[in-house]
Amino acid sequence: MKATKVDKDLCIGCGLCCGICGEVFRMNEQGKAEAYQRANAENQGAVQEAADSCPVSAIA
Ligand code: F3S
């Protein structure tokens, strides 16, 4: 499974990704999202949904 990445320069800290898939995304101290786990077979759908939902397309 490829590593999920958040572009911190793009992220506006809306928090949507963490709400959709808290197993992979969390907010850091700068108020930006980060992917702290690799996606797995169970949550890859939610990771994709988070990527599709991000308003600034910061998740790849
Ligand atoms: Fe940031 Fe997009 Fe998540 S703006 S907090 S990466 S949904």
- In the chain, the domains with their CATH numbers are 1-60 (3.30.70.20)
Q: How confident is the model at residue 1 (pLDDT cuts 50, 70, 90)?
A: low
Asked whether 51 lines ligand 1 (CB < 6 A), one says no
What ipTM was reported for this prediction? 0.98
Phi, psi at 17, each rounded to 5°: -60, -40
Asked whether 56 lines ligand 1 (CB < 6 A), one says yes
Residue 49, C-beta contacts closer than 8 angstroms, at least 6 positions apart = 20, 21
Strand runs (DSSP E) across 1-60, as ranges? 25-27, 33-35
> For residue 27, which atom of ligand 1 is closest to its CA?
5
> For residue 18, which atom of ligand 1 is closest to its CA?
3
Among residues 2, 58, 60, 55, the alpha carbon closest in space to that of 33 is found at 58
Asked whether 10 lines ligand 1 (CB < 6 A), one says no
**The predicted structure's pLDDT at residue 3:** 87
Q: Would you state the structure tokens that stand for residue 9, as one six-digit string?
A: 């320069």
Q: What is the pLDDT of residues 10-42, one digit of tens each?
A: 999 999 999 999 999 999 999 999 999 999 999
